[in-house]
């Protein structure tokens, strides 16, 4: 008994440290320069311009990447149109499915290098890219491969036809996974694709292009254009595109919605979030604390569904806060390629600046800011896991999406109060409920206005399950059977 108390009093992070366990990065070759992937081939951009992608953990350049301009977008959209008309929409659905299975299997074969590349380019811990991003990317291709020849069963009594060319714009928080998440259902339904990865994390999408070549996917079925916002805007505005799928900031999402308002293009928008995690007094507290940590510090909080607001019922508030801080003090922040790392690098200098600005606003507004005493590497973009208490509903830190490892903690007395506080946000993407009572889960989850709710767990993803938001978190659903709908016309 005495011994247990002593262990509890220790600060684990200072009581021992792990020996470095870096994942090897010498089992694959990165190119110095990457071109655009159009019509099955890599070609130089008409702009002649290239930009650098860096490793946010070291601030070192990894490679030069082509910047696509309007002429390149036009070339890619034409290639996608031709492939749609001549090949892909004509192919028997079971044959389309075979290509998707093949892509899924090659993703699995190349899992190790894809994981390392993802962590180098974006800063996320290798444990995540290895165990979550890459396996889930393959799982999305496997799952939608299965649907390709079963669309009649997905929409019984109706005929599902493809839309044509899909323009897809993805963010930097789950680069390969977002590419798979968007490409797989589009192809399964018979559409062709022009995909634009985010400018800070283009490498795994470009590696995916090589995998598509290896899978002998017909030229033009998927085209991958690198570039920043202007490239994305050119894709959105191209008249040859039939559908836009966007994941990113609410700000850009609104701009896209405006641009498309006067057109007949279909679109889905998956935008920001400010998810609430609610812990009731009857919850398994240790399990809840672990889930809260996973919910907000996973991928440095670079997650649209991150559980960034915690509401704890008053009777357990002190205990939860103490346990949270104890656990956070054990998190290892540092080298994304180290297998022991829990919290990696912030994706970019801009994102780090945004996190710092919001945290400073939180302090100015009177919030109490707590951080563990962990050391940070001297180069690269880093932010300590942060907990805010003494915050009010009106504070910016409680209202605005931070997209960083920052958690606000507030207490509540009654379930009604928890629901009201949880819903007091312009967003509605996700949320979490922690309680021992199944009836409470059903009662509360029906009242939370969010697209995805987890009970006694958090951040669990599966290709069979739909994902998407209410209010400013966007429109449409991706994943599962629902994820086919944005890529078909039904007659
Ligand atoms: P962003 O919305 O600017 O970037 C997302 C993608 O959109 C990138 O590929 C980007 O190149 C592209 N893009 C930018 N401007 C565009 C335009 N005018 N037309 C078409 N495409 C355009 O997001 P950013 O600036 O990287 O991050 C800002 C904030 O957005 C983050 O702090 C976070 O709060 C939120 N965010 C949310 C994400 C989510 O998963 N829902 C993902 C990334 C960011
Ligand atoms: Mg990068």
Q: Tell me: the pLDDT tens digits for 32-42?
A: 999 999 999 99
| Ligand 1 lined by 167 (C-beta under 6 Å) | no
| Ligand 1 lined by 68 (C-beta under 6 Å) | no
Domain with CATH 3.40.309.10 in the chain: 276-463
Query: 88, 221 in Cβ contact below 8 A?
Result: yes
Q: How far is CA 77 from CA 80, 182, 307, in A?
A: 5, 17, 38
Phi, psi dihedrals of residue 311, rounded to the nearest 5°:
-115, 125
CATH number of 33-271+473-490: 3.40.605.10
Handedness of CA 311, 316, 320, 321 (dihedral sign): positive
Percentage of residues in the chain with pLDDT exceeding 70? Answer: 97
- Mean pLDDT over 40-61 rounds to 98
Give pLDDT, residue 16.
Answer: 66
| Ligand 1 lined by 147 (C-beta under 6 Å) | no
Q: Which of 3-7, 167-171, 326-330, 411-415 has the lowest mean pLDDT?
A: 3-7
For the segment 214-244, what is each residue's pLDDT rounded down to a tens digit? 999 999 999 999 999 999 999 999 999 999 9
- Mean pLDDT over 439-461 rounds to 96
| Nearest atom, ligand 1, residue 270 CA | 41
- Mean pLDDT over 47-68 rounds to 98
Structure tokens at 214: 């290896």
| Ligand 1 lined by 229 (C-beta under 6 Å) | yes
Structure tokens at 372: 């563990």
pLDDT band at 8 (very low <50, low <70, confident <90, very high): very low
Dist CA 26 CA 11 (whole Å): 36
Give pLDDT, residue 17.
Answer: 78
**Best residue for ligand 1 mutational test, from 248, 258, 275 (most atoms within 8 Å of Cβ):** 248
Whether 472 is a known active-site residue: answer no
| Ligand 1 lined by 166 (C-beta under 6 Å) | no
Q: Which of 1-5, 463-467, 487-491 has the lowest mean pLDDT?
A: 1-5
- Mean pLDDT over 310-325 rounds to 98
Q: Which of 304, 305, 400, 478 is catalytic?
A: 304
For the segment 324-378, what is each residue's pLDDT rounded down to a tens digit? 999 999 999 999 999 999 999 999 999 999 999 999 999 999 999 999 998 899 9
- Mean pLDDT over 98-102 rounds to 98
C-alpha of residue 361 to centroid of ligand 1, in Å: 22
pLDDT band at 146 (very low <50, low <70, confident <90, very high): very high
| Ligand 1 lined by 403 (C-beta under 6 Å) | yes
| Ligand 1 lined by 128 (C-beta under 6 Å) | no
DSSP-assigned states of every residue in 374-430: ----SSS-----EEEES--TTSHHHHS---SSEEEEEEESSHHHHHHHHH-SSEESE
C-alpha of residue 154 to centroid of ligand 1, in Å: 32
What torsion, rounded to 10 degrees, do the Cα atoms 219, 220, 226, 231 define? 160
- Mean pLDDT over 294-299 rounds to 96
Ligand nearest to the CA of 169: 1
Handedness of CA 398, 334, 298, 382 (dihedral sign): positive
C-alpha of residue 122 to centroid of ligand 2, in Å: 5
| Nearest atom, ligand 1, residue 172 CA | 43
| Nearest atom, ligand 1, residue 196 CA | 9
CATH 3.40.309.10 is the classification of domain 276-463: yes
Kindly report the average pLDDT of the chain as a whole number: 95
| Nearest atom, ligand 1, residue 199 CA | 11
Q: Which of 23, 67, 118, 270 is catalytic?
A: 270
pTM, two decimal places: 0.95
Ligand nearest to the CA of 347: 2
Q: DSSP 3-state assignment of 263?
A: coil
| Ligand 1 lined by 232 (C-beta under 6 Å) | yes
Whether 32 is a known active-site residue: answer no
Instruction: Tally helices (H) and strands (E) across the chain.
Output: 18, 22
Domain with CATH 3.40.605.10 in the chain: 33-271+473-490
For the segment 376-404, what is each residue's pLDDT rounded down to a tens digit? 999 999 999 999 999 999 999 999 999 99
């Amino acid at each position: 008994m005495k011994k247990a108390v002593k262990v509890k009093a220790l600060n684990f992070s200072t009581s021992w440290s792990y020996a470095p366990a870096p994942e090897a990065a010498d089992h694959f070759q990165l190119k110095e320069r990457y071109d655009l992937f159009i019509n099955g081939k890599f070609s130089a951009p008409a702009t002649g311009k290239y930009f650098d992608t860096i490793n946010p953990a070291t601030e070192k350049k990894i490679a030069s990447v082509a910047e696509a301009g309007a002429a390149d977008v036009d070339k890619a959209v034409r290639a996608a149109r031709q492939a749609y008309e001549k090949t892909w929409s004509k192919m028997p659905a079971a044959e389309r499915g075979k290509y998707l299975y093949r892509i899924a299997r090659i993703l699995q074969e190349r899992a190790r290098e894809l994981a390392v590349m993802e962590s180098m380019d974006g800063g996320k811990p290798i444990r995540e890219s290895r165990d979550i991003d890459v396996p889930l990317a393959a799982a999305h291709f496997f799952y939608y491969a299965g649907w390709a020849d079963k669309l009649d069963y997905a929409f019984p009594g109706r005929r599902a036809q493809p839309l044509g060319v899909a323009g897809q714009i993805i963010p930097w928080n789950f680069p390969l996974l977002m590419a798979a998440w968007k490409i797989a259902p589009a192809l399964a339904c018979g559409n062709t694709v022009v995909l634009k990865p985010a400018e800070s994390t283009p490498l795994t999408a470009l590696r995916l292009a090589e995998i598509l070549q290896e899978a002998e996917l017909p030229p033009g079925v998927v085209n991958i254009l690198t570039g920043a916002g202007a490239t994305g805007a050119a894709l959105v505005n191209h008249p040859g595109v039939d559908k836009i799928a966007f994941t990113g900031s609410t700000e850009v999402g609104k701009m896209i919605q405006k641009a498309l308002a006067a057109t007949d293009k279909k679109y889905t928008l998956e935008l920001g979030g400010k998810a609430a995690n609610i812990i009731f007094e009857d919850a398994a507290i240790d399990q809840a604390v672990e889930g809260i940590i996973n919910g907000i510090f996973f991928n440095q909080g670079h997650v649209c569904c991150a559980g960034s607001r915690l509401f704890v019922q008053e009777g357990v508030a002190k205990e939860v806060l103490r346990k949270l801080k104890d656990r956070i003090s054990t998190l290892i922040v540092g080298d994304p390629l180290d297998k022991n790392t829990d919290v990696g690098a912030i994706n970019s200098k801009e994102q780090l600046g945004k996190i710092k600005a919001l945290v400073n606003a939180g302090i100015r507004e009177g919030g109490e800011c707590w951080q563990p005493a962990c050391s940070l590497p001297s180069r690269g973009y880093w932010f300590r896991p942060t907990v805010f208490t003494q915050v009010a509903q009106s504070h910016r830190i409680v209202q605005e999406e931070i997209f960083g490892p920052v958690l606000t903690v507030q207490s509540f007395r009654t379930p009604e109060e928890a629901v009201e506080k949880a819903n007091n946000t312009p967003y509605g993407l996700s949320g979490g409920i922690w309680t021992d009572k199944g009836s409470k889960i059903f009662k509360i989850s029906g009242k939370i206005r969010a697209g995805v709710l987890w009970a006694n767990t958090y951040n669990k993803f599966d290709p069979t399950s739909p994902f998407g938001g209410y209010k400013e978190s966007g429109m449409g659903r991706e994943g599962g059977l629902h994820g086919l709908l944005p890529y078909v016309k039904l007659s």
